[in-house]
Amino acid sequence: MTNDLVEFSTHSDVLVLIGTNTSECHPIIAMQMLRGIERGAKMIVIDPKKTDMAKKADIFIQTPVGYNIPFLNAMINCIIEEELYDKEFVKNHSHGFEYVKEAVKEFTAKRVEEETGISEELVKQAARTYAKANAAAICYTMGMTQFIDGTSNIFSLSNLAILTGNLGKKGAGVNPLRGQNNVQGSCDMGALPNVVPNGPVTSKEVRDHIKDVWGYEISDKVGYPLTVAPEKIEEEKLKLLYVFGENPVMSDPWTEHFIHAVEHLETFIVQDIFLTETAQKADVVLPAASWAEKDGTFLNTSRRVQLIRKAVDAPNNLEPDWKVVANIAKELNLKGFDYTSAEDIWNEVREVNPRFFGGISYERIDKNDGISWPCPNLEHPGTPVLYEGNKSMLPDGKFKLVPVIYAQDKEKRAELEKEFIEKTNMPEDYPIGSGALSEKVNELYPCLFTTGRKVFHYHTGTMTRECKPLELGSDIMGATIEVSEDIARERDLDEGCYAVVENKRGKIAARVNINRDLRHGTIFTTFHYAEADGNVLANAEEKDPLSGMNPLKMTIANIKKISEKEFIEVRNQTDIQMHPSELYRAVRRQ
């Protein structure tokens, strides 16, 4: 996040929520937003589902699944045409205005109305409300990133913020709301295939600094992202997989493909606090200490480094994750893992990336209840708001507006990008984005299918489904398939009846919930439940060309009513696939 989430309650004049079901997925952040609304802030929600936050919004725009770039380009078009953009900011602190102006010129509010039925005036109202705010914050989650044009979606959001000067000040910014308590920290620590904590492995300067600190050279080769792991396993290029704190059997797309692939690994290791669906496929399962049983740091969504202290001792002498990894490294005769505490590791992080973490000592974190990076030295107060002084992190200190075009045919994205570069005389190294739908509904699969979360559960339910008041109380209905009213009418689906949703990747079965808050033609379910995991149907074949992300939030499917007997048959098949033995199945059924 460019800003601290607390600013939503204290400084934001306008909140734009796009692709985020904030109250169910990020209830603490939603609480800050609602405080801001009570203070007088306005809220714009853009989503295919009329979420709880949408019902509280001043402006709600119900877009089709995947219709992000055309809509955002129309907002940008309106802001430019009506000269609502911050001319001083654009002129003095950015590059690429003319490229963006050219890219959005055909994306009018009228076009949005013709393509989606969303009124032209509502599109303009959203654009004007955002552009005229003194401090407007954009907030988004995986409802923007998990598409084949997810990176370009974020380019579009960044364009909005740059054009209106909504960077470098309290209550504004572009704010990805992280889904777990240490997602930001994991990325910052180099848990990505192309970076270490101080930058990309392709940079000689980064590698030289690492050598100075660690005492040995690191490879300049970029590793494999998780999204290509199944293919690399099948190609025998990936022979060992070590998973901890993750449940990819449920969270990754096209479940059947992932399960089939891991069967070909030479060694599969899982380290977790519960016997997850992924752990049940492993050759070796290592137990782990929970967050309350270890010391360390978390970096939250606001980039705030926070200290955690062990509250209770772990049972059976379980070790914290860092010690398990260090012990394995020592068995492999690797040097540099002689840590005595979590603080030793953190101090090494400060040495590896002094620009961001140099001034964040345990003592200062404890005293200040957390510090936001960058914090380069012990006198620095930390940086809750990025880009103050209108300075970007690029070498010239300016922001880049990135043109984002749109293709009706996904196969023509690269061709259209090339044509745009030639037409505008853009430098070849200047960034460009493009969008397209990964799949379009057809006669065989006439429904759009998307996934999300419910407030009762957390991700794949590894922890929350072990909480019986949640599992057997608040969430007693369990897995359901939500359908829009038109689908229910067309398929003769009744509230509570059984239905199966399927496509070329698999099928799931559950009771039906007719949800009047879904846009027409849409099916929605969660990925909390192994017995009906929406990711079974998700598209794993196609990827964002820039990030490698799969379009988990958009696929096509069909749905039909089934009998209770048919429902039980599908559920039993799913249970056997997810839980390979009766002993393991009993773990979830307790």
pLDDT at 590: 44
Does residue 586 register a pLDDT over 70?
A: no
Q: Are 278 and 243 in contact (CB under 8 A)?
A: yes
* Within-domain flag for 150: yes
Q: How many CB atoms lie within 10 A of CB 314?
A: 17
The CA distance from 364 to 189, in Å, is 20
User: Is residue 55 located within the same domain as residue 197?
Assistant: no
- Which residues are CB-contacts of 497 (< 8 A; sequence separation ≥ 6)? 511, 512, 561
Average pLDDT over residues 512-524: 96
Closest to 233 measured CA to CA, from 207, 193, 198, 266: 266
Closest to 576 measured CA to CA, from 538, 531, 520, 544: 531
Q: Which domain holds residue 145?
A: 6-178+394-432
Helix pair angle (69-81, 120-132), 10° resolution? 70
Give the chain's mean pLDDT: 93
Among 383, 404, 432, the domain-final residue is: 432
Could you tell me the CA-to-CA distances from 114 to 64, 117, 511, 514 in Å, in that order?
13, 6, 35, 27
Strand-pair partners of 244: 271
pLDDT at 584: 62
Digit-coded pLDDT (tens) for 467-481: 778 777 777 778 899
* Within-domain flag for 468: yes
User: Is residue 244 located within the same domain as residue 313?
Assistant: yes
Digit-coded pLDDT (tens) for 266-321: 999 999 998 899 999 999 999 989 889 999 999 999 999 999 999 999 988 888 99
pLDDT at 116: 96
pLDDT at 585: 61
User: Is residue 291 located within the same domain as residue 365?
Assistant: yes
The CA distance from 14 to 132, in Å, is 9
* Within-domain flag for 437: no
Closest to 185 measured CA to CA, from 372, 414, 419: 372
Quickly state the pLDDT bin for 588 (edges 50, 70, 90).
low
Average pLDDT over residues 428-432: 94
Percent of the chain with pLDDT over 70: 98
User: Is residue 166 located within the same domain as residue 191?
Assistant: no
User: Is residue 357 located within the same domain as residue 496?
Assistant: no
Strand pairing of 480-483 and 447-452?
unpaired
The CA distance from 310 to 293, in Å, is 5
User: Is residue 312 located within the same domain as residue 210?
Assistant: yes
Quickly state the pLDDT bin for 436 (edges 50, 70, 90).
very high
* Within-domain flag for 385: no
The dihedral formed by the CA atoms of 348, 351, 354 and 359, expressed in degrees to the nearest 10: 70
User: Is residue 222 located within the same domain as residue 362?
Assistant: yes
* Within-domain flag for 121: yes
pLDDT at 529: 83
Among 432, 462, 479, the domain-final residue is: 432
* Within-domain flag for 378: no
Among 407, 432, 457, the domain-final residue is: 432
We report the CATH number of the domain holding residue 557 as: 2.40.40.20
We report the CATH number of the domain holding residue 117 as: 3.40.228.10
Quickly state the pLDDT bin for 235 (edges 50, 70, 90).
very high
User: Is residue 348 located within the same domain as residue 208?
Assistant: yes
Closest to 256 measured CA to CA, from 587, 2, 583, 578: 578
Segments of 181-221 assigned E as strands: 195-196, 199-200
We report the CATH number of the domain holding residue 366 as: 3.40.50.740
pLDDT at 478: 84
User: Is residue 328 located within the same domain as residue 422?
Assistant: no
The CA distance from 259 to 202, in Å, is 32
* Within-domain flag for 34: yes
The helix or strand, by DSSP H or E, that contains position 562, with its residue range, turns out to be: strand 555-562
Average pLDDT over residues 51-70: 96
Digit-coded pLDDT (tens) for 145-191: 999 999 999 999 999 999 999 999 999 999 999 877 788 888 899 98
Instruction: Look up residue 172 and give its two tokens.
Output: 């504004």
User: Is residue 472 located within the same domain as residue 496?
Assistant: yes
Closest to 79 measured CA to CA, from 17, 15, 152, 161: 161
The number of folded domains in the chain is 3
The CA distance from 449 to 493, in Å, is 16
pLDDT at 587: 55
Quickly state the pLDDT bin for 98 (edges 50, 70, 90).
very high
Q: Are 433 and 405 in contact (CB under 8 A)?
A: yes
User: Is residue 343 located within the same domain as residue 196?
Assistant: yes
Digit-coded pLDDT (tens) for 216-234: 899 999 999 889 999 999 9
Instruction: Look up residue 446 and give its two tokens.
Output: 């006439």
* Within-domain flag for 195: yes
User: Is residue 162 located within the same domain as residue 196?
Assistant: no
Average pLDDT over residues 351-357: 96
pLDDT at 453: 81
